[in-house]
Amino acid sequence: MAEFTMELNEEQREVRDWLHGFAADVIRPAAAEWDEREETPWPVIQEAAKVGIYSLDFYAQQYFDPTGLGIPMAMEELFWGDAGIALSIVGTGLAAVGVLANGTEEQIGTWIPQMYGDANDVKVAAFCSSEPDAGSDVASMRTRAVYDEAKDEWVLNGTKTWATNGGIANVHVVVAVVDADLGSKGHASFIVPPNTPGLSQGQKFKKHGIRASHTAEVVLENVRVPGSCLLGGKEKLDERLARARERAKAGGERVKNAAMATFEASRPAVGAMAVGTARAAYEVALDYAKTREQFGRPIIDNQGVAFQLADMRTSVDAARLLVWRASWMAINGRPFTAAEGSQSKLFASETAKKVTAQALQILGGNGYTREYPVERMHRDSAIYTIFEGTSEIQRLVIARTLSGMPIR
Indicate the residue type of 308. Q
CB 49 within 8 A of CB 59: no
Catalytic residue selected from 47, 217, 340, 388: 388
The three-state secondary structure class of 174 is strand
| Dihedral of the alpha carbons of 314, 209, 112, 43, in degrees to the nearest 10 | -110
- State phi, psi for 135 to the nearest 5 degrees: -100, -90
SS3 148: strand
Q: How many CB atoms lie within 10 A of CB 245?
A: 15
Q: Quick check: is 388 catalytic?
A: yes
CA distances from 312 to 82, 284, 316, 330 (A): 19, 12, 6, 27
Distance from C-alpha of 220 to C-alpha of 160, rounded to nearest angstrom: 8
The rounded distance, in Å, linking the Cα atoms of 401 and 393 is: 12
- Say if residues 220 and 158 touch (Cβ distance below 8 Å): yes
Question: Residue 122 carries which side chain, given as an amino acid letter?
Answer: V
Residue 163 neighbours by CB under 8 Å, 6+ apart: 126, 127, 128, 130, 172, 215, 216, 217, 218
C-alpha torsion sign, points 379, 206, 217, 63 = negative
The residue among 388, 407, 405, 389 whose CA lies nearest residue 90 is: 388
| Residues classed as catalytic | 388
